[in-house]
Amino acid sequence: MMKMGVHTLATIIAILALASSLTYASDPSPLQDFCVAINDPALFVNGKFCKDPMLATADDFFFPGLNIPRSTANSLGSNVTLLDVTKIPGLNTLGISLARIDFAPYGLNPPHTHPRATEILVVVEGIIYVGFVSSFPANRLFTKLLYPGDVFVFPEGLIHFQFNVANTTGVTFSGLGSQSPGLIVIANNVFGSTPPISPDVLTKAFKLDKNVVEFLQKEFYTTS
């Protein structure tokens, strides 16, 4: 009964989070009821083209099975399921998306940013240590230990992370204020870029031995 109560509370909070994100979404406001996305590989636009509204169906606004746990059998022990406009075409122009994060015991969602979205996260299972870092010159670290039912906000564009410090699995849900929030995983982007950033640049920037930089580039390039 207690676990069911936590799940119900988390569902309500997640729905409220998505509703509130409408107000603060960074995407442009729609000019019609909806604009179901269609892909046109020949053209690039800021967003997606719209399907004829008369051809839209309920399935354009639907995604099944978000209650199903995802595999966390990887080096980080986490798995992010992002429902953005590519997964739910009906999100186009609505300025929101949703993510489920599954954690293995001591699993980590590593430091990353969403360049186009604020994120509001609710914990369903696990004990999640979260934090974000403010911009230069303050570089302040804001952290909190979250338990089931707790909510935390990550401001748009700032580096943040989530770490399950429990010896049990963890689950969180996040509302994001964009149909396409974007993702920059700091270590992967810096050390795993294509083509690689010059080791001389990274050696000086991170004050690391050049051999260490070259090792990290090989490590992250193969896992990116």
Domain range spanning residue 71?
Answer: 29-182
The reply, when asked if residue 160 is annotated as ligand binding, is yes
Q: Are residues 212 and 168 in the same domain?
A: no
- Assess if residue 10 is contained within a domain: no
Same domain, 98 and 190: no
Residues 100 and 47 in one domain: yes
In a domain? residue 96: yes
Residues 164 and 140 in one domain: yes
Residues 99 and 199 in one domain: no
Please name which of 212, 201, 113, 118 lies closest in space to residue 160, comparing C-alpha atoms. Answer: 113
* Measured CA angle at 121 (ends 169, 97), to 5 deg: 110
94 and 76, same domain (yes or no): yes
Looking at the fold, whether 199 and 128 belong to one and the same domain comes out as no
> Residue 6: its pLDDT value, please?
59
Residues 72 and 157 placed together within one structural domain of the fold:
yes
Tally of structural domains, the chain = 2
Look at residue 13 in the predicted model and tell me its pLDDT. 58
Give the count of beta carbons closer than 10 Å to the beta carbon of residue 172. Answer: 29
Q: Are the CB atoms for 99 and 80 separated by under 8 Å?
A: yes
Task: Kindly state whether residue 154 falls inside one of the protein's structural domains.
Answer: yes
pLDDT tens sequence for the chain (224 residues): 445 565 666 665 565 555 555 445 567 777 678 888 888 766 677 778 899 999 999 999 999 999 999 999 999 999 999 999 999 999 999 999 999 999 999 999 999 999 999 999 999 999 999 999 999 999 999 999 999 999 999 999 999 999 999 999 999 999 999 999 999 999 999 999 999 999 999 999 999 999 999 999 999 876 65
Instruction: Give the pLDDT confidence score for residue 22 in this predicted structure.
Output: 47
Do residues 68 and 145 share a domain?
yes
Q: Report CA torsion sign: 190, 78, 129, 175.
A: positive
> 89 with 170, same domain?
yes
Could you tell me if residue 61 is inside a domain? yes
Tell me whether residue 84 is in a domain.
Answer: yes
Instruction: Check whether 109 is labelled as a binding-site residue.
Output: yes
- Whether residue 85 contacts residue 46, with contact meaning beta carbons closer than 8 Å, is answered with no
What's the pLDDT score for residue 46? 72
Q: Tell me whether residue 7 is annotated as binding.
A: no
